[in-house]
Amino acid sequence: TPGGWTSNLTSWGKRERVQEEKKRERERERETGGEGEFSFGSHFFPSISSSSSDDDEESMSEGEMAALKEEVEEKKKLIATLRNKPWRMQRRLIQLKEAQEFVEKFEGALGKGKGRKWYAYKVMMTKKLIKFKRDFENFKTACIPWERKIKEVESHFGSSVASYFIFLRWMYGLNLVLFGFMFGLVVLPEILMGLPYGSLPRKTVPREEQATAMDYAVLFDFNGYCKYSFLFYGFYNSDRMIGVLKFRLPLSYLLVGVGIFGYSLMVVIRTMARNANEGGDGAEEGQFTFSWKMFTSWDYLIGNPETADNKYASITTSFKESIVDEQENQKDENIHLRRFLRVLANFLILCSLGGSGFLIYFVVKRSQDFAERDNDELSWFEKNEVEFVMSLLGLVCPPLFETIAELEDYHPRIALKWQLGRIFALFLGNLYTFLFALFDEVTAKLEKEKSIKNETIWALNAYYANYSSFYNTTDVPPPDVHPADVIRGPCWETGVGIEFVKLIVSDMQVTYLTILIGDFVRAVIVRFLNYCWCWDLEAGFPSYGEFDISGNVLGLIFNQGMIWMGAFYAPGLVGLNVLRLLTSMYYQCWAVMSCNVPHERVFKASRSNNFYMGLLLLVLFLSLLPVVYTIMTLPPSFDCGPFSGQEKMYDVVMETIENDLPSFIGNIFTYATNPGLIMPAVLLMVLAIYYLNAVSKGYQQANLDLKRKMQMARDEEKNRRNNKDSTNQVMKDLEALLPNKSLIPPPTEEDELESSKSPKIKPGAVANGKGVNLQKEVSLAASNPRGPVTRAPGPRGGNARGPQPGPEKGRGRSSNPPLKL
């Protein structure tokens, strides 16, 4: 049987096979003298004559073939959707067996006639593909790490805390793939096939620095041997092809740098699309409060008694709160005071955001001055000032925002959204200020480089002049200078890479330290000092920490943004990040299990998981911008990195197209980059966007209309059951408009019109009392009467527009014909 079931449970198949044999025998007995091959269900093809098997082609006419094909397709579809059916397992297994046999038996039969071999081959390949896909899926599931750990966290803390760890795991997977690209296509070729350390100036530590190059302090600062290693941009040689395989390193470097963004974009969007279905059909806020609380508040993942108790308590509290909300009205608060407080709070927060941006700029400028001074004079603090300040700001500002937000007095869910937005703005502002400051540094370095370049060229010319004048020849060998002694330009790309790596490292240190102190030491203090303290530390002030989901997720997202930005200048950064995520996983799992308590109230920031994915996407674009800008506009350093000697970094691509690819591709590119072609293409895309937007709006409107229809049908049904009047305001208005009510005979019952078509008019009142809002959109002129317009519009219920009137009234009036107006 297809399906690859080969363990000690294979005997399941045996049992089914025995059953199936019996069935086949029964079928054969039923069929009077029919051939086994064509004895399928007689209710499908009663006309099939049981001819002999060598007369195949003629016995199956076209129509029967088509019908049989359809039947086979249906069985295949059944097999595919079998797991979604709410049947008992036994029934599913039996259905599966039947369907599989049917397909197997008659797929062969279909292949008779023309192209039989090809059809059979196609079928076999499809089966093999399905089997391969299934094996691959099995393999992939087996490879997923940390399943046990996450399950433990889930059972103790519920699904929301665990979602952070699932996100972390996903990031780890993404970074692993990026690391694979970077390492396999850039680092490894350079190490294996490129020139070794010490052969070129760019790969050697300069003579002046060699004394201190191995010092721990220097290495920790990523200078010394680190700076001239494969970790950073400057190490890579700009030879067009290296090694035996003629590997084009500069091209590969550029493509991998851009490809990292492309791959990340693809993965993020794919994950967003998958999550898009989870949000569910949006319901209005507060429409189903109690029902949802009752049926979706218990987290089935909880497996720990303490957590369960906690959950019971929080559910009870939540119910009590809702009951209280339901019973009393909101107090009338002073709106003006509230507005003033909110404006004040926002102003304070803007001030602090501005302050933090300015602080970072100031500190980066100072670090440039420090760079001028001798390295030994600076204290550790002064050397790492920038990273220290940035991490500190990231630590201090969010709680500050939270305290200021107390002024605003929002509902917790809305307050959480504001908080997340502000933290996002903080991180973004900090990052971009950092980038601008860095950019200033880069331009300064470029200036310096020009002067050094001139110096180098001048020195070289002087050497040639001396040599030729001394030896009187024109054939001058290249200067025999040790690589360590050559004058170096300030490799700005490596400088930028170093800054990013230092930032990531310091961020990591600060995070781990915070967890250690903020959670672990706090827990230890609360636990042990509680015995000799005046008030209950566990219940009162410090108590145990809760796991800050949103803060951690944002931190993760921004770290990834920094990786994306820095990966182009420091290929080793991605590997560093993989290590960091790995240790984070274990460290944070341990910290959460031993130091944190489950949340008392949990509010999700949004309906679906796409909120954080959306943030990630935004950060991806924002980190793409600086990299693309530098590739396109800044000139690469003249003496370090894979693009040295080029005017712009992307010249490598142009060169490759000219030299390595056949000429017509070069022509194609020349045509493709012609503005005359690009403008219409851009215009076309804009039009396409506009069109898709319009179509999507149309769908949304259709959706809303359908919802309205369903709602109205249900309301009318409900009203009919409860013997209420039609609550449709329009009908009431209509009735009020009629000349004299007493003269109007009752309308006829119109069951068929009511049930088959519901008009587009929205109902007046809706059960949950929110109907008042809907009435605004009702308009008589707008709706099309769906029913037959040949009837004269009669009174209430007399035309297609009107919903069914109350049953009592209707029945009473049904005997009289409608009045023709």
Q: Does 790 bind other proteins (CB under 8 A)?
A: no
Q: Which stretch binds other proteins (CB under 8 A): 42-50, 221-229, 306-314, 466-474?
A: 306-314
Q: Does 132 bind other proteins (CB under 8 A)?
A: no
Q: Does 138 bind other proteins (CB under 8 A)?
A: yes
- Residue 589 CB, nearest distance to other proteins (Å)? 15
Three-class SS string for 13-59? Answer: HHHHHHHHHHHHHHHHHHCCCCCHHHCCCCCCCCCCCCCCHHHHHHH
Q: Which stretch binds other proteins (CB under 8 A): 145-153, 430-438, 441-449, 461-469?
A: 145-153
Q: Which is nearer to other proteins, 10 or 210 (CB)?
A: 10
The number of beta carbons lying within 10 Å of the beta carbon of residue 159 is 15
DSSP state of 776: T
- Residue 93 CB, nearest distance to other proteins (Å)? 6
Q: CA distances (Å), 406 to each of 92, 354, 397, 410, 509, in order? A: 56, 21, 14, 8, 30
**Residue spans of beta strands (DSSP E) within 241-297:** none
Q: Which stretch binds other proteins (CB under 8 A): 23-31, 144-152, 187-195, 630-638?
A: 144-152
Q: Write out the binding residues for other proteins, residues 484-503 only, by CB under 8 A.
A: none
Q: Does 149 bind other proteins (CB under 8 A)?
A: no
Q: Which is nearer to other proteins, 236 or 547 (CB)?
A: 547
Q: Copy the structure tokens of residue 593.
A: 């299990």
Beta bridge partners of 154: none
Q: CA distances (Å), 279 to each of 60, 265, 282, 606, in order? A: 50, 22, 7, 9
Please identify which residue in 126, 289, 461, 514 interacts with other proteins, judged by CB under 8 A: 289
Please identify which residue in 123, 258, 265, 308 interacts with other proteins, judged by CB under 8 A: 308
Q: Which is nearer to other proteins, 436 or 603 (CB)?
A: 603
Q: Does 145 bind other proteins (CB under 8 A)?
A: no
C-beta separation of 405 from 419 below 8 A: yes
Q: Does 304 bind other proteins (CB under 8 A)?
A: yes
- Residue 22 CB, nearest distance to other proteins (Å)? 14
Residue 445 backbone dihedrals phi, psi, to 5 degrees: -65, -40
**Spatial distance between the Cα atoms of 446 and 639, rounded to a whole number of angstroms:** 12
**Spatial distance between the Cα atoms of 813 and 806, rounded to a whole number of angstroms:** 11
Q: CA distances (Å), 374 to each of 206, 368, 369, 378, in order? A: 16, 12, 10, 7
C-beta separation of 175 from 563 below 8 A: yes
Q: Does 302 bind other proteins (CB under 8 A)?
A: yes
**Spatial distance between the Cα atoms of 439 and 365, rounded to a whole number of angstroms:** 11
Q: Write out the binding residues for other proteins, residues 604-663 only, by CB under 8 A.
A: 604, 607-608
Please identify which residue in 282, 477, 675, 739 interacts with other proteins, judged by CB under 8 A: 282
Q: Does 379 bind other proteins (CB under 8 A)?
A: no
- Residue 5 CB, nearest distance to other proteins (Å)? 7
Please identify which residue in 118, 132, 292, 671 interacts with other proteins, judged by CB under 8 A: 292
Please identify which residue in 29, 32, 142, 472 interacts with other proteins, judged by CB under 8 A: 142
**Spatial distance between the Cα atoms of 426 and 432, rounded to a whole number of angstroms:** 10
Please identify which residue in 188, 315, 484, 516 interacts with other proteins, judged by CB under 8 A: 315
- Mask of contacts with other proteins, 73-112, x by CB under 8 A? ------x--xxxxx-xxx-xx--x----------------
Q: Which stretch binds other proteins (CB under 8 A): 428-436, 457-465, 710-718, 811-819?
A: 710-718
Three-class SS string for 714-751? Answer: HHHHHHHHCCCCCCCHHHHHHHHHCCCHHHCCCCCCCH
Q: Does 21 bind other proteins (CB under 8 A)?
A: no
Q: Which is nearer to other proteins, 279 or 680 (CB)?
A: 279
Q: Write out the binding residues for other proteins, residues 160-199 only, by CB under 8 A.
A: 163
- Residue 688 CB, nearest distance to other proteins (Å)? 32
Q: Copy the structure tokens of residue 529.
A: 């000092």
Please identify which residue in 36, 41, 113, 279 interacts with other proteins, judged by CB under 8 A: 279
Q: Does 295 bind other proteins (CB under 8 A)?
A: yes
Q: How many CA atoms lie within 13 A of 367 on its CB side?
A: 23
Query: Chain-centre distance of CA 702, in angstroms?
Result: 28
Please identify which residue in 109, 301, 371, 452 interacts with other proteins, judged by CB under 8 A: 301
Q: How many CA atoms lie within 13 A of 641 on its CB side?
A: 29
- Residue 282 CB, nearest distance to other proteins (Å)? 7
Q: Which is nearer to other proteins, 4 or 479 (CB)?
A: 4
- Residue 591 CB, nearest distance to other proteins (Å)? 21
> Crossing angle, helix 385-405 and helix 492-514, to 10 degrees?
50
Q: Which is nearer to other proteins, 147 or 447 (CB)?
A: 147
Please identify which residue in 47, 49, 52, 141 interacts with other proteins, judged by CB under 8 A: 141
Q: Which is nearer to other proteins, 413 or 741 (CB)?
A: 413
Q: Does 14 bind other proteins (CB under 8 A)?
A: yes
Three-class DSSP category at 545: strand
- Residue 301 CB, nearest distance to other proteins (Å)? 6
In the chain, the N- to C-terminal Cα span, in Å, equals 73
Burial degree of 473 (CB within 10 A; 0-12, 13-18, 19+): exposed
- Residue 109 CB, nearest distance to other proteins (Å)? 23
**Spatial distance between the Cα atoms of 108 and 123, rounded to a whole number of angstroms:** 9
Q: Which is nearer to other proteins, 16 or 387 (CB)?
A: 16
Q: Which is nearer to other proteins, 289 or 514 (CB)?
A: 289
**Spatial distance between the Cα atoms of 508 and 515, rounded to a whole number of angstroms:** 11
Please identify which residue in 7, 474, 659, 663 interacts with other proteins, judged by CB under 8 A: 7
Q: Does 155 bind other proteins (CB under 8 A)?
A: yes
Q: Does 707 bind other proteins (CB under 8 A)?
A: no
Q: CA distances (Å), 307 to each of 158, 539, 600, 605, 692, in order? A: 8, 16, 10, 22, 48
Please identify which residue in 49, 329, 722, 742 interacts with other proteins, judged by CB under 8 A: 722
Q: Does 700 bind other proteins (CB under 8 A)?
A: no
Q: Does 5 bind other proteins (CB under 8 A)?
A: yes
C-beta separation of 360 from 393 below 8 A: yes
Which of 351, 362, 506, 373 is closest to 437 using CA atoms? 362
> Crossing angle, helix 249-275 and helix 651-659, to 10 degrees?
110
Please identify which residue in 33, 46, 63, 305 interacts with other proteins, judged by CB under 8 A: 305
- Residue 608 CB, nearest distance to other proteins (Å)? 7
- Residue 129 CB, nearest distance to other proteins (Å)? 15
Q: Which is nearer to other proteins, 312 or 380 (CB)?
A: 312
Burial degree of 5 (CB within 10 A; 0-12, 13-18, 19+): exposed
Alpha helices in 276-384 (DSSP H): 289-296, 305-327, 335-372, 380-383
- Residue 421 CB, nearest distance to other proteins (Å)? 20
Q: Does 271 bind other proteins (CB under 8 A)?
A: no
Q: Does 704 bind other proteins (CB under 8 A)?
A: no
Determine the size of the site formed for other proteins (CB under 8 A). Answer: 80
**Spatial distance between the Cα atoms of 759 and 197, rounded to a whole number of angstroms:** 80
